[in-house]
Amino acid sequence: MSKSLALIGRALTYLALSLAAFVSIFPFFWMVLGTTNTSADIIRGKTTPGGALVDNIIKFLNSFDIARVLFNSFLIAGLGTVLTLLVASLAGYGFEVFRSRFREKIFGGMLLMLSIPFAALMIPLFMMMASFRIINTYQAVILPGIASIFVIFYFRQATKAFPSELRDAARIDGLKEWQIFFYVYMPVMRSTYAAATIIVFMANWNSYLWPLIVLQTNEMKTLTLVVATLTAGYTPDFGVIMVGAIAATLPTLIIFFLLQRRFVEGMLGAVK
């Protein structure tokens, strides 16, 4: 009796899980399917593979300078990620390790700033970039994101798990503070860095509003902006949009799968 009940329970669990899996996977499935169909077929709700894949890819590649756009996206996301991790981890480490009377007040103030919506910062930030004369440059996109309060917060939390014995030992061995950070802290915290890499890279890669405002010409556009452009117009070509959506999703997916194991460790705050 109880065995059959357990069986029913399991069946229900699997049913619920299957449903959830279907709901989360179907959009991806539909996106992949869409790349093989013409726009008219997609609008009609066709859910079988079609023969327009090559056509859609060619149209996608011809609609803009793909090499340039990928270069822009990878440069902005890549360089932005490296700089953000460097600055934010230094700050997070510093906040946790060095004591000062003002530490918690400053940190609290910074956390408060997290609640300011970007829409409120957009125009002043634009004016700032204009006065630096760097509108429509990579640095205008990358600079404002480097001192990410969220990532600083994340690193400070992770640093709490960094054993102070390691630091003491390194000091006794004669390392300077910056050497401790680069030679001891960074290698030990690599899971945290991996997790932060995924988060920051994804945020930079998908970033839309700020690049939209500050980048002006076709040569500077990122992949996200270009895919948004595909949906512009009175008769959007959905097949091509699906190709664009996949092109925009792939890099983050690849990075996620490469760093997946470390990501989970990092989120759990593991220090070996």
Partner 1 sequence: MTSFTSRWRRSLAAAALAGTSLFSVAAASAAELVVWCWDPNFNGATMQEAFSRYQAEHPDDTINVVIFDKAAMEQKLQAQLASGSTDGLPDIVLIEDYRAQKYLQSFPGAFEPLNSHIDYSTFAPYKVELATLNGQTYSLPFDSGVTGYFYRTDLLAEAGFGPEDLENITWDQLIEIGKTVKEETGQILLPIDPTGSDWIRIMLQSAGSWYFDADGNVTIAGNPVFKAALETYQRLIASGITTPVSGWTEYTGSFTSGKTLSTFSGVWMTATIKANPDQAGQWGVAPSPRLDGVEGAGNASNLGGSSWYVLSSAPQKEMAIDFLATIWGSDVDFYQKILVNQGALGSLLAAREGEAYQASDEFFSGQPVWQNFSDWLAEIPAVNYGIFTEEADAAVVAQVPAITSGGNIDDIIAAIDAQVRQQTQ
Site string for partner 1, 13-32 (x = CB under 8 A): --------------------
**DSSP state at residue 183:** I
Residue 220 binding partner 1, by CB under 8 A = yes
Q: Judged by CB under 8 A, does residue 186 bind partner 1?
A: no
Binding mask 65-84 for partner 1 (x = CB under 8 A): ----------x---x---x-
Beta carbon nearer to partner 1, 142 or 180: 142
Taking the C-alpha atoms of residue 126 and residue 22, their distance in angstroms, rounded to an integer, is 43
* Helix locations, the chain, DSSP H: 2-34, 39-43, 53-62, 66-97, 103-113, 118-131, 138-146, 149-159, 164-172, 177-179, 186-188, 190-206, 209-214, 223-230, 238-268
Count of chain residues binding partner 1 (CB under 8 A): 42
Q: Which 118-157 residues touch partner 1, going by CB under 8 A?
A: 122-123, 126-127, 130-139, 142-143
Cα separation values, 74 from 2, 19, 70, 132, 142, Å: 57, 36, 6, 24, 12
Q: How far is the CB of 135 from partner 1 (least distance, A)?
A: 5
Q: Closer to partner 1 at the Cβ: 157 or 216?
A: 216
Any contact of residue 217 with partner 1 (CB under 8 A)? yes
Q: CB of residue 194 vs partner 1: minimum separation in angstroms? A: 24
The radius of gyration of the chain's CA atoms, rounded to the nearest angstrom, is 24
Residue placing its CB nearer to partner 1 in the complex, 3 or 133: 133
Q: Are 245 and 227 in contact (CB under 8 A)?
A: yes
Q: Are 51 and 33 in contact (CB under 8 A)?
A: no
Binding-site string for partner 1 from residue 226 to residue 245, where x marks contact by CB under 8 A and - marks none: --xx-xxxxx--x-------
Q: Is the Cβ of residue 196 or residue 220 nearer to partner 1 in the bound state?
A: 220
